[in-house]
Structure 1
Amino acid sequence: MKHLLSYLACACFVLLTTKLYAQDAVVLSPDKQLTLRVSVADGKPAYTVTYLGKTMLENSPLGLQTNEGDFSTGMKYISKAEDVVNKNYNEEKIKKSQVRYTANKLTCLFENAQQKKLSIVFQVSNNDIAFRYEIPAWGERMSCVVEKEATGYRFPSLTTTFLSGMMSPMTGFARTAPSYESGYQADAPMIRTNRSNEGFVFPGLFRVGNDGWVLLSETGVSSLYCASHLSEYKDGIYTVAYPNPKTNNGFGSSGAALALPGVTPWRTITVGATLKPIVETTIPFDVVEPLYEPSRKYKYGKSTWSWILWQDNSMNYDDQVKFIDLAATLKYEYILMDALWDKNIGKDRMKALVKYANSKKVDVFLWYNSNGPINDAPQGPRNKMYTAIERKKEMKWLREVGVKGLKVDFFGGDKQENMRLYEDILSDANDYGLMIIFHGTTLPRGWERMYPNFAGSEAVVASEMLVFVQGVREAEAFNATLHPFIRNTVGSMEFGGVLLNKFLVKSNEGRNKRLTTDAFQLATSVLFQNPVQMFGLTPNNLTDVPTFEIDFMKQVPTTWDETRYIDGYPGKYAAIARRNKTQWYVAGVNANKESVKLKLNLPMIAGKRVRLYNDDTSKAPYTKEIAIDKNGELEIEVQAGGGFVIK
């Protein structure tokens, strides 16, 4: 009898366990190395992520809260559906021009306490997870407001972080924050004493001890939703946080208004045992589609830019002629004329200036203030981009005089109101054949693919801060070793770099001394990816730097057919390779206080003779031809604050 009772107890336990786990839904990557498991416990949906059998994310919450009901608690698992996604696409504006995306798809259907349904769609490819919520129409209810997400990320306790803080609203220059221009901390603990309560921007990088790396971000944000960020670490978890209600001077909802059926943006998780999948991921673009057709063939390339070193005083007719001539000499496609051109040059003379540029085979980008009621920035042109009527009038004039693109500056938030403005500017600009670059801006979230005339965003501590802030100059090499693994891996990054002046002022002497080497600066032209690059070269560089540096800057491309991780550790050093057609460029920088000797594995140029650009022990730049052995291995020394390029 005792044995029978024991048997019955075991049988009941097996049945109970089978019933519990029968509600689990599991999806694996095509190579079966990445596993995502979805479950419901006590009415709360959750997921876990393992890679190569090791836990990357522990039991993490899922769900939404809306004005039509709570979909984070009291939930019941209804059913699942499985499918496979196969997709090939071309996109010349990102790190890889031809992409094949294959993923296993899992759709989980849930029901809340009011019997309203919600689906969560997961797509799991090799090293990448993307998921979003799909909300059906609920009877006669054809709209809702999503007020909050329960979506969270629970990392193992040994995890360290590489995160950038979300800036406080209505702070910074002319109350233009948040503008995604805070620095990153490397290898920081999850538990912090100096919490800001604003959370952290996407993307965020996490090192899960010795088990691997995880990159979190989002993609597919359009006018139909707000952008989000990571909350502060609380109760062992990071959650998806919506914009602070105080942004935009307090105007606009911090949630998202959806017509039903509707979908949220995609939450993305990239996982790897090394940083290779992080550097090479294309998931921000894999799960989105173009929202409209390009009105013309957009041309990408390099640009001169007087403002970065010659500043506001350069915004005059004569100085712009000098930078047009510089662009022509360098065979650059563009010149960017920055803030205050409307006051200091004016539309009539600008028309003549554009004509002069075109005669030199140089096209023009012009700067605009986004403003309206969303910032206090005084620089003009103002009040031309915020409303449809003024915007279309201005863009009609721009098309008539032959301008090819705009740099629109000073956006201060991630509310749905802001996302509508971004999309309206892009859509209207396409109607007039204009490319758009955003500065003082949010992270681009799949926009390279969604908007055909989008040509990049700043959203980083960029070159202007090198001019203005000593601490940023001191951290230049440190920051450069982060971007290939974090910010620039999920979207184009218009940094405005390659500064060859020894002092970051027009006179090239006396103050704002540059603390990195010339080879470092050349390396960033490859390390940082954006389809239109505004480089900080000045006319004096044609004669005061070695000729081989100028020749290199004439040749380096801005679009790439392939990108590969080579080596690196965020905050210490970085080395990546990019290919344009058949030409490979390998670039690296060193943020350590001492030189480092790297052993690089370069199979793409094995057995070839290539040109090396590097610094000697005195940090003077040099170039020479070298041979890569048949195994593709190369030992190279990189100076502190230095860099190298191999091509």
Structure 2
Amino acid sequence: MRHIFVDIRSIIVMSGLFFLFISCEEKSAVQELSLKDGLNTIALSLDENGTLYYEVKRNGESLIKKSPLGLVCNQGDFTRGLAVDEVSPVQERRENYRLKVGNSMQIDRALKSKSVSFKNDSGALMTVDLIAGEEGVAFRYRFPEAPADIRIVEEEITGFHIGEGAEAWLQPYNKAGDYTPAYEDFYLNMDSGDAMSDPRNPSVGWCMPALFNVNNQRNWVLIAESGTDGSYVGCHLSPDSEGGIYKIAFAKKDEKYTLPIDEEADAAPRSDLPWTMPWRVVIIGDKAGDILLSTLITDLAPASKIEDTSWIGSGKASWSWWSHPDDHSPEIYDGFTDLAVDFDWEYTLFDAGWEEANKEGDIIKKALSKGIKPMVWGYSANYFNPEERKKRFKELAAMGIKGVKIDFWCSDRQETMNALQGVFEDAANEHLMVNLHGATVPRGWHRTWPNFMTAEAILGTESYFYEQRFPERAAEQNTVLPFTRNVAGPADYTPVALTMRKFPRLTTAAHELATSMIYTSGIIHFADSREIFGSFPEEVKNLLKEMPATWDKTECIVGEPGKGIVLSRQKDSLSYIIGINGTAEEHSVKIDLSKYSGEFSAFRLIAEGEDPLMEFDSNTYPVDTEWTYTMAPRGGFIIQFVNDTN
């Protein structure tokens, strides 16, 4: 048998060495490629049948065990009979960019990349691109050739072999219905390989991002997607893990209830060639906080397609629907414009029914006259057709509207992914910002389209109207979602919902207030009424006026999904520490404040008042080296660093 060994090299990079080893042998032999940055490794191998696999390691220990790769297409099978055709040189790439919304604004990441091309039995080519960096690894498929016919991917066999027994936090992927799939289910804490139990709605798989604590709980792994555009479907994970192997599953054919999609159209992804598919992302950390802070999803997303972003601004918004869901009168909308004025918020959102209240254009005119930027609700089907969408955006921009909340997408089909990209682009052309509701999870889109400010795809505070189990589970979920859903992109949780609804809240008022600073959203839509906000003590009112909607720097001080989270946040000269308790028991935290002592003389603590469910208490303390605090059951706190102790 003929053996060729090529190119053993090492390149200094960050914390270690970047090694490349290629063994090119005949088709019947095993072949490997290892891409390593001294910390995280992704390796490809072919077995004797020409079947492709990969493995992910950290510091030499396997996190994603040997897992399948490959595609079954209408024009060929790329799951067996493969042979290496070409291996590219190692390339260094640096992703240096600014975000309009995120845990940090300025991102600078070093990555290593390599591409391996394979031929199948009929000589057709498939390329696998590999990425390795400090925060994890990623891979994607490409068809580099350009034949005339449309290629259809009938099946993607990509798997993620976590292995049984790892702790997992997985969200059921709800089957198609009037309001599903919309990524609005609980994240279930289980062992990898366990069957699904008691989802909110009938379900057909697991959502991404999917979080795992692996390697005897020494490492954390988040499985996600990045860069999905109109050339592919949104993907989830199969419901049956087959011994801990979670496989990619496509959007279903019936995901079209709310959209004008052809009844007969097949849901399999299709494109002309060449064709580049989304990244499969494996974020890796030694702590859960490493996952929360990762930017790997946006690192891999296409760069901004908006040249001038000066008109795009994060901020806070008043919003009437949560407190007055059935009142669409001009007086209500005007009242919430006044609330935005009172709290120095930049935006107000006019939700469903706003057109009737705006017959004479008065609610829009009033907001603009008071310096408040109006955003308006819309129904997804009215923004699906490109020509109708462009026309509608022009009309809204001419009225002085600054953003759109488009609702009820309920589909991950390729047609929907394509329409969403059109929404971002066409809205940008009219200087409109975008908020998606009833929609899929973001996939790095807020880098590519900075006018994409936030999205639902989260079990938020509207669930106090609709989900009996929400009050009991809300605190726990609030400490899981920052490590899962919010890593994928900005999340419109609609925080500070204090008024008791159909299913009464169990979290404290301080917990609810803290969620507005725990979750990351380009525009924060506050949920409650003018009366509730007006009743807050001055310290809380001032906090709501001052707090930013996005951050220059974030650190995770405590990261225990399902139990507790404490973040340090900074924006310009403002510094905060925010914590919430995900359990029904007290939760003590110890925090080193020494780094703040040179800049601030004191800190203001906002926590629970005499009635923990509805009231706040505020006290000011000197900045000491170490601070210990016991969070109330389902409670929370906010530290606001100050120099004026009055």
Query: Higher mean Cα deviation, 211-220 or 240-249?
Result: 240-249
**Alpha carbons of 1:285 and 1:542: their partners in 2 closer, same or farther (altered >3 Å)?**
closer
Q: Residue 177 of structure 1: which of 175, 180, 186 is its match?
A: 180
**Alpha carbons of 1:194 and 1:327: their partners in 2 closer, same or farther (altered >3 Å)?**
closer
Does the Cα contact within 8 Å between 2:148 and 2:272 map onto a contact in 1? Answer: no
1:190 partner letter: G
Residue 256 in structure 1 maps to residue 256 in structure 2: no
Q: Which residue in the other structure is 1:463 paired with? A: 461
Does the Cα contact within 8 Å between 2:603 and 2:639 map onto a contact in 1? Answer: yes
Tell me the CA shift for residue 500 of structure 1. Answer: 3.5
For residues 23-172 of structure 1, the aligned pairs below 5 Å read 23-29=31-37, 32-41=38-47, 42-81=49-88, 82-137=90-145, 140-141=147-148, 143-169=150-176, 171=177
2:320 partner letter: S
Tell me the CA shift for residue 621 of structure 1. Answer: 2.4
1:85 partner letter: R
Tell me the CA shift for residue 61 of structure 1. Answer: 0.8
Q: Deviations over 1:457-502 (max 9, x none)?
A: 100111111233332122211110111111112210011111243x
For residues 317-356 of structure 1, the aligned pairs below 5 Å read 317-342=330-355, 344-346=356-358, 348-349=359-360, 351-356=361-366
1:580 partner letter: K
Match of 2:363, SS state, is: helix
> For 1:604 and 1:369, how far apart are their aligned partners in 2?
48
1:584 partner letter: S
Does the Cα contact within 8 Å between 2:472 and 2:506 map onto a contact in 1? Answer: yes
Q: Deviations over 1:295-338 (max 9, x none)?
A: 7611220000011111122x111111111111101111111111
**Alpha carbons of 1:599 and 1:57: their partners in 2 closer, same or farther (altered >3 Å)?**
same
1:69 partner letter: G
Q: Which residue in the other structure is 1:199 paired with? A: 205
Task: Output the aligned Cα RMSD.
Answer: 2.2
> For 1:416 and 1:548, how far apart are their aligned partners in 2?
48
Match of 2:217, SS state, is: coil
**Alpha carbons of 1:524 and 1:248: their partners in 2 closer, same or farther (altered >3 Å)?**
same
> For 2:102 and 2:298, how far apart are their aligned partners in 1?
9
Match of 2:233, SS state, is: coil
> For 2:162 and 2:639, how far apart are their aligned partners in 1?
38
Tell me the CA shift for residue 541 of structure 1. Answer: 2.3
> For 1:566 and 1:252, how far apart are their aligned partners in 2?
49
Q: Which residue in the other structure is 2:632 paired with? A: 639
1:106 partner letter: K
Q: Deviations over 1:320-371 (max 9, x none)?
A: 11111111011111111110122x314x32x222111112111101101112
Match of 2:483, SS state, is: coil
Tell me the CA shift for residue 293 of structure 1. Answer: 3.4
Structure 2 gaps of 5+ residues are 1-22, 258-262, 641-646
Query: Higher mean Cα deviation, 582-591 or 187-196?
Result: 187-196
For residues 502-517 of structure 1, the aligned pairs below 5 Å read 503-504=500-501, 512-517=503-508
Tell me the CA shift for residue 604 of structure 1. Answer: 4.8
Match of 1:463, SS state, is: coil
Does the Cα contact within 8 Å between 1:596 and 1:638 map onto a contact in 2? Answer: yes
> For 2:386 and 2:619, how far apart are their aligned partners in 1?
54
2:376 partner letter: L
Tell me the CA shift for residue 197 of structure 1. Answer: 6.3
Tell me the CA shift for residue 387 of structure 1. Answer: 2.1
1:300 partner letter: S
Q: Which residue in the other structure is 1:299 paired with? A: 313
Tell me the CA shift for residue 625 of structure 1. Answer: 2.1
> For 2:58 and 2:29, how far apart are their aligned partners in 1?
20
**Alpha carbons of 1:603 and 1:137: their partners in 2 closer, same or farther (altered >3 Å)?**
farther
**Alpha carbons of 1:156 and 1:87: their partners in 2 closer, same or farther (altered >3 Å)?**
same
Q: Residue 291 of structure 2: which of 242, 262, 278 is its match?
A: 278
> For 1:141 and 1:548, how far apart are their aligned partners in 2?
65
Match of 1:496, SS state, is: coil
**Alpha carbons of 1:438 and 1:107: their partners in 2 closer, same or farther (altered >3 Å)?**
same
Q: Which residue in the other structure is 2:577 paired with? A: 586
**Alpha carbons of 1:233 and 1:212: their partners in 2 closer, same or farther (altered >3 Å)?**
farther
Tell me the CA shift for residue 142 of structure 1. Answer: 5.4
**Alpha carbons of 1:617 and 1:403: their partners in 2 closer, same or farther (altered >3 Å)?**
closer
**Alpha carbons of 1:34 and 1:189: their partners in 2 closer, same or farther (altered >3 Å)?**
closer
Q: Residue 568 of structure 2: which of 577, 586, 594 is its match?
A: 577
**Alpha carbons of 1:464 and 1:616: their partners in 2 closer, same or farther (altered >3 Å)?**
closer
Match of 2:97, SS state, is: strand
Q: Which residue in the other structure is 1:216 paired with? A: 223
**Alpha carbons of 1:294 and 1:202: their partners in 2 closer, same or farther (altered >3 Å)?**
farther
Q: Which residue in the other structure is 2:510 paired with? A: 519
> For 2:309 and 2:586, how far apart are their aligned partners in 1?
49
Match of 1:304, SS state, is: strand
Tell me the CA shift for residue 37 of structure 1. Answer: 1.4
Tell me the CA shift for residue 62 of structure 1. Answer: 0.9
Match of 2:128, SS state, is: strand
**Alpha carbons of 1:66 and 1:363: their partners in 2 closer, same or farther (altered >3 Å)?**
same
Tell me the CA shift for residue 52 of structure 1. Answer: 2.4
Tell me the CA shift for residue 643 of structure 1. Answer: 0.3
TM-score by length of 2: 0.89
Tell me the CA shift for residue 545 of structure 1. Answer: 2.6
1:582 partner letter: S
Residue 484 in structure 1 maps to residue 491 in structure 2: no
Tell me the CA shift for residue 615 of structure 1. Answer: 2.4
Match of 2:228, SS state, is: coil
| Percentage of pairs with the same residue | 28
For residues 425-440 of structure 1, the aligned pairs below 5 Å read 425-440=423-438
Does the Cα contact within 8 Å between 1:317 and 1:345 map onto a contact in 2? Answer: yes
Tell me the CA shift for residue 417 of structure 1. Answer: 0.6
2:344 partner letter: K
Query: Higher mean Cα deviation, 526-535 or 18-27?
Result: 18-27
Does the Cα contact within 8 Å between 2:164 and 2:191 map onto a contact in 1? Answer: no
**Alpha carbons of 1:339 and 1:46: their partners in 2 closer, same or farther (altered >3 Å)?**
same
Tell me the CA shift for residue 119 of structure 1. Answer: 1.0
Tell me the CA shift for residue 278 of structure 1. Answer: 0.1
Q: Which residue in the other structure is 2:620 paired with? A: 625
Tell me the CA shift for residue 141 of structure 1. Answer: 4.0
Q: Deviations over 1:90-119 (max 9, x none)?
A: 112222111111111121121111111111
Does the Cα contact within 8 Å between 1:525 and 1:556 map onto a contact in 2? Answer: no
Query: Higher mean Cα deviation, 75-84 or 524-533?
Result: 75-84
Q: How many residues align?
A: 600
Q: Which residue in the other structure is 2:541 paired with? A: 550
Query: Higher mean Cα deviation, 543-552 or 325-334?
Result: 543-552
Q: Which residue in the other structure is 1:367 paired with? A: 377
**Alpha carbons of 1:212 and 1:233: their partners in 2 closer, same or farther (altered >3 Å)?**
farther
Match of 2:247, SS state, is: strand
Query: Higher mean Cα deviation, 599-608 or 589-598?
Result: 599-608
Tell me the CA shift for residue 193 of structure 1. Answer: 6.2
Structure having the larger proportion of residues in helix: 1
